[in-house]
């Protein structure tokens, strides 16, 4: 295209002039129309001449202005674009570039800074906040004395008008209020709390002010805390549906509110009727329609709507919400079961952090269809280790294991996921209960009869016989468990709690797997240098702790309410982060607690002499008599241990009372062949045994003779 134009210019001899596009008339005169030619456009009516598309442009190498076109908005009345150039910014940039001027960025930044300062100074709280922050810098310093006077000075500063409301919502001055609540005298703290009380709901949903609410709960008097809980009435559902206030509400429901206040908080989920007025007769959801059954449908629909609102925002990890869920799943109608379970299925991992939530999850699982059960198992699979090691979550796993009919799917979905983390589970008191249920489901040696009765309520939702189900599950898992014991026997006898589970496993294993696991354990026990680490109890007894009344009360409260749940930990982390941002303003009591925290002292003890393991070994050896009664030719734990005993081990054992009792138990609970082997081993050491004065050695000598 360019070459053809160049040739035309050469022929005409006007190479310096801009090329002009041929008009339709010219092209029609010079050449015949082809089937590919574009249709001609009508002329603009100016003397019959067509409008040139490139008119006003210069192709000589220098840029020129565009031809001015009429503004189509100019004729409209009240048009803000009338008379304005089409491309003003481009023209300015081009002008600046032509002039060679550069933007002074330092001047630009300074102007922005001055504008920001001018806006701040325009606020009526600017001077007060500046003065308050200067006092705050002194107040948060640890070395500052008479902090109560500084707090009183700040309180007087904020007492004018509605200053306190504006200050508490700001990101910088909110920390001043937190520091005041921490260091104020009881009277000033009470007055400050009273000023903040009407703002409690607004502060709870504020990004910065909600830390002040947490401070009020931490440092306030019992009366202040009770009034603060009452200030939430009428907005409980609103607070439960907010990301920030939901954590505060969880903290209030678990640790601050009394029984009556908890009932009032739950009532607001039953409908708008209970937001303004409370009823002392209504303690549960069922009490709402006990006298008027017609209201049941409306109340259940209101509760369901509130729960849907909370679940849509993923704020289900809340103890108050879990309590409402439990009441709802107990009272819901049969035709709403599947819909409810479908709604709660993705939220099951968040519901397992409290007792009420766990019970609600178990009921949902029992009443769900096979499709929903598979969905629930898929949801919890990635969180399985955390759930199994949780105080309440492990109950859901046990209920699930006890009610699923498809044992192969149970082994694949549950045990295969747990097996790589078997040691993690065994090291945790709740994880051990899951393993114990897999090994000995419904065993009274591991579980309380009341717990067993509660779990077996789920059997009515299954079709397979419970004994058949439990036998099938154990047959699938005994081989990997026996292999795990044979690979790391030192772990399975490292602790008295783990040893109890090990003893239960050996009792249940079949002959082949029993020999495999018992041989590895016997080799470990027979080592002369076998030792275990235990806590040094002597130091704990000698250590004197200061009689701090507040600390004792806090510990008692913590023990009563047990551990903080997942949502509480998150809120506490946020609270600590806010304190960390304020520099050195940390609690003196927290510093003292950190100094008192020390690593638990441990000492190495000879394994055969450790009290807990001694009892476990005796139980394992006593089980040999039952094995021999079932099959006289089978191998026993005592027999395998005698085969592994060396001369060096025997020399050390005959000087230990508990070791002699272990040898005595082997002699009493095993066959004559094992007894004869033991006699032959101890024949050389009989004289030394007779010199010992402890009971174990004396009884062992009598048996040998």
Contact 678/643 with Cβ under 8 angstroms? no
Within 10 angstroms of residue 642's Cβ, the number of other Cβ atoms is 23
Dihedral pair phi/psi, residue 75, rounded to 5°: -75, -15
Residue range 216-249, pLDDT digits in tens: 999 999 999 999 999 999 999 999 999 999 999 9
Residue 627 or residue 549, greater confidence = 627
Burial string for 565-585 (b: 16+ CB within 10 Å, else e) reads: bbbbeebeeebeebbeeeeeb
Q: What is the mean pLDDT of residues 29-49?
A: 45
- Counting Cβ atoms within 10 Å, is residue 692 exposed (0-12), middle (13-18) or buried (19+)? middle
Contact 498/532 with Cβ under 8 angstroms? no
Contact 311/345 with Cβ under 8 angstroms? no
Residue 628 or residue 541, greater confidence = 628
CA 276, 277, 283, 285 torsion-angle sign: negative
Contact 357/395 with Cβ under 8 angstroms? no
Q: Is the pLDDT reported for residue 47 higher than 50?
A: no
Residue 102 banded pLDDT, cuts 50, 70, 90: confident
Q: Is the pLDDT reported for residue 60 higher than 90?
A: no
Helix and strand element counts for the chain (H, E): 44, 2
- Cα dist from 631 to 634, 635, 669, 692, whole Å: 6, 9, 14, 37
Nearest to 497 by CA among 537, 538, 448, 535: 535
Domain boundaries of the chain, sorted by first residue: 123-231, 264-368, 370-479, 510-535+602-704
pLDDT the model gives residue 591 = 42
Q: What share of the chain is helix, strand, coil (3-state, %, to 5)?
A: 70, 0, 30
Q: Is the pLDDT reported for residue 541 higher than 80?
A: no
- Cα dist from 469 to 292, 308, 328, 432, whole Å: 45, 36, 31, 21
Residue range 305-328, pLDDT digits in tens: 999 999 999 899 999 999 999 999
Sequence-distant (6+) residues with CB within 8 A of 96 are none
Q: What is the mean pLDDT of residues 38-67?
A: 46
Residue 32 banded pLDDT, cuts 50, 70, 90: very low
Q: Is the pLDDT reported for residue 564 higher than 90?
A: no
How many Å is the Cα radius of gyration of the chain?
Answer: 41
Q: Could you give the CA distance from residue 581 to residue 43 in angstroms, rounded to a whole number?
A: 75
Contact 636/627 with Cβ under 8 angstroms? yes
pLDDT the model gives residue 146 = 87
pLDDT the model gives residue 354 = 93
Residue range 659-680, pLDDT digits in tens: 999 999 999 999 999 999 999 9
Nearest to 634 by CA among 626, 642, 643: 626
Q: Looking at the DSSP assignment, which residues form a beta bridge with residue 602? A: 535
Nearest to 213 by CA among 222, 223, 224: 224
Q: Where are the alpha helices (DSSP H) in 122-208?
A: 126-139, 147-158, 163-169, 173-183, 186-196, 200-204
């Amino acid at each position: 295209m360019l070459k053809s134009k160049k040739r035309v210019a050469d022929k005409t001899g006007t190479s310096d002039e801009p090329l002009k596009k041929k008009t339709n008339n010219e092209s029609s005169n010079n050449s015949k129309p082809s089937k590919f030619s574009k249709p001609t456009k009508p002329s603009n009516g100016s003397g019959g001449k067509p409008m040139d598309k490139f008119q006003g442009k210069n192709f000589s190498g220098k840029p020129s202005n565009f031809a001015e076109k009429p503004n189509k908005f100019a004729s409209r009345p009240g048009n803000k674009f009338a008379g304005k150039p089409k491309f003003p910014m481009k023209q300015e940039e081009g002008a600046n570039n032509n002039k060679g001027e550069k933007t002074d960025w330092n001047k630009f930044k300074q102007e922005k800074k001055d504008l920001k300062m001018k806006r701040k100074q325009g606020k009526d709280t600017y001077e007060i906040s500046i003065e308050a922050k200067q006092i705050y810098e002194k107040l948060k310093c640890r070395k500052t004395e008479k902090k109560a006077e500084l707090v009183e000075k700040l309180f007087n500063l904020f007492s004018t008008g509605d200053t306190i409301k504006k200050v508490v919502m700001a990101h910088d001055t909110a920390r001043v209020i937190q520091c005041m609540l921490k260091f104020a005298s009881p009277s000033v703290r009470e007055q400050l709390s009273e000023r903040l009380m009407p703002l409690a709901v607004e502060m709870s949903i504020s990004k910065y002010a909600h830390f002040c609410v947490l401070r009020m709960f931490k440092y306030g008097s019992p009366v202040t805390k009770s009034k603060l809980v009452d200030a939430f009435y009428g907005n409980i559902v609103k607070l439960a549906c907010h990301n920030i206030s939901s954590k505060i509400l969880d903290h209030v429901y678990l640790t601050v509110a009394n029984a009556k206040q908890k009932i009032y908080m739950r009532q607001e989920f039953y409908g708008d009727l209970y937001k303004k007025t409370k009823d002392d007769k209504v303690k549960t959801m069922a009490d709402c329609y006990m006298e008027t059954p017609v209201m049941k449908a409306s109340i259940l629909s209101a509760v369901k709507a509130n729960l849907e609102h909370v679940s849509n925002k993923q704020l289900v990890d809340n103890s108050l919400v879990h309590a409402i869920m439990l009441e709802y799943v107990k009272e819901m109608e049969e035709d709403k079961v599947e819909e409810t379970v479908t709604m709660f299925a993705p939220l099951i991992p968040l519901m397992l952090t409290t007792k009420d939530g766990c019970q609600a999850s178990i009921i949902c699982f029992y009443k769900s269809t096979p499709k929903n059960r598979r969905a629930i198992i898929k949801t919890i699979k990635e969180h399985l280790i955390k759930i199994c090691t949780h105080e309440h979550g492990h109950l859901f796993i046990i209920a699930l294991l006890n009610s699923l009919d498809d044992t192969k799917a149970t082994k694949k979905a549950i045990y295969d996921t747990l097996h790589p983390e078997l040691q993690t589970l065994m090291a945790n008191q709740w994880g051990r209960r899951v393993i114990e249920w897999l090994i000995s489901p419904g065993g009274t040696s591991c579980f309380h009869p009341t717990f067993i009765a509660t779990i077996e309520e789920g059997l009515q939702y299954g079709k397979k016989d419970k004994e058949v189900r439990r036998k099938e599950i154990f047959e699938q898992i005994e081989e990997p468990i026996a292999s795990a014991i044979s690979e790391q026997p030192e772990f399975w006898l490292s602790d008295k709690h783990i040893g109890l589970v090990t003893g239960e496993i050996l009792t249940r294993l079949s002959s082949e797997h029993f020999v495999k696991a018992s041989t590895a354990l016997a080799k470990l026990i027979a080592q002369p240098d076998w030792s275990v680490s235990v806590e040094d109890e002597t130091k704990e007894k000698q250590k004197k702790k200061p009689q701090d009344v507040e600390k004792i009360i806090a510990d008692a409260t913590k023990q009563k309410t047990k551990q903080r749940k997942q949502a509480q930990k998150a809120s506490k982390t946020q609270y600590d982060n806010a304190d960390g941002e304020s520099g050195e303003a940390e609690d003196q009591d927290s510093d003292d607690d950190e100094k008192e925290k020390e690593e638990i002292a441990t000492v190495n003890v000879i394994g055969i002499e450790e009290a807990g393991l001694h009892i476990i070994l005796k139980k394992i050896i006593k089980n040999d008599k039952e094995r021999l009664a079932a099959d006289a030719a089978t191998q026993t734990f005592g027999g395998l241990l005698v085969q592994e005993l060396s001369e060096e081990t025997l020399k050390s054992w005959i000087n230990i009372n508990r070791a002699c009792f272990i040898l005595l138990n082997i002699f009493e609970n095993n066959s004559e062949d094992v007894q004869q082997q033991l006699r032959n081993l101890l024949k050389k050491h009989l004289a030394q045994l007779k010199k010992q004065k402890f009971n174990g050695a004396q009884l062992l000598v009598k048996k040998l003779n």
